[in-house]
Amino acid sequence: MKEIEFDLKNNPFYNFLSSRYSMSARLNVEKMWNYSKENDLSFFTLSLAALINSLNEIPEMRRRIVNGKVIEYDYLDAVCPIMDEDSGIYKEMRVKAPQRFDEILDWHDYVQEHERKILNGTEDAFEVKTTERDELNIANFSCIPWVDFDSITNCTASSNQIQPLITWGKVNEDYEMTVAITVSHIFVNGRELAYFYQFAQDNFNNLF
């Protein structure tokens, strides 16, 4: 990470009641959906890769406020809930960014194994207080695969929370899937959101 010059004091959104805002848009995921089914791969895991990659392409998404200073991380890892379907118990896992692997299939297998070990108790789940997460090089990802939703709201831990929250839903019969993202207006404007969706669509089309 590195400290960058950024005028927080005069940022128009820094002292808002909340600087958080959200956007939802549909992506076409037909190519990745078919690839995952044909090759016995996890569509959830591949979707996670596409969305992490897209977020990490945008410097503004990687910025945080630490001790009153603006820093920019080199990359963000993903934190996401996983569920034991038999017990209905949720846990969280933190996974390394795909950029840290030479091959995307190696990353896919690493995530699958990490998830399996957390759910069977042989590895620890991710546990960090909500108030402490905003200073880490992480973003929160969550999938609601049972609902083809149009938009969604997210919880806000604090008015100046920075960490991006990304949620994606069920793939419909037209191979469209809603991806929602919540960000801080302190760093992220509409242009960066447009870049995120542009990169995401490219990743869903060309991850392999």
To the nearest whole percent, how much of the chain has pLDDT over 70? Answer: 100
Cβ neighbours of 187 (radius 10 Å): 23
Distance of CA 123 to the CA centre of its chain: 22
Alpha carbons 147 and 168: distance in angstroms, whole number = 9
The domain that holds 136 is classified in CATH as 3.30.559.10
- What does each of the 208 residues of the chain score in pLDDT, given as a tens digit? 899 999 988 888 988 878 999 999 999 999 999 999 999 999 999 999 999 999 999 999 999 999 989 999 999 999 999 988 777 788 999 999 999 999 999 999 999 999 999 999 999 999 998 878 999 999 999 999 999 999 998 877 777 789 999 999 999 999 999 999 999 999 999 999 999 999 999 999 998 8
Q: Are 151 and 178 in contact (CB under 8 A)?
A: yes
Global pTM value: 0.93
Alpha carbons 106 and 178: distance in angstroms, whole number = 27
Sheet holding 138-143, edge to edge: 20-28, 176-184, 165-168, 138-143, 77-84, 89-95
pLDDT at position 158 is 76
Residues facing 24 on adjacent strands? 180
How far does the chain reach from its first CA to its final CA, in angstroms?
Answer: 28
Q: How many domains does the chain have?
A: 1
What range defines the domain where residue 187 resides?
2-205
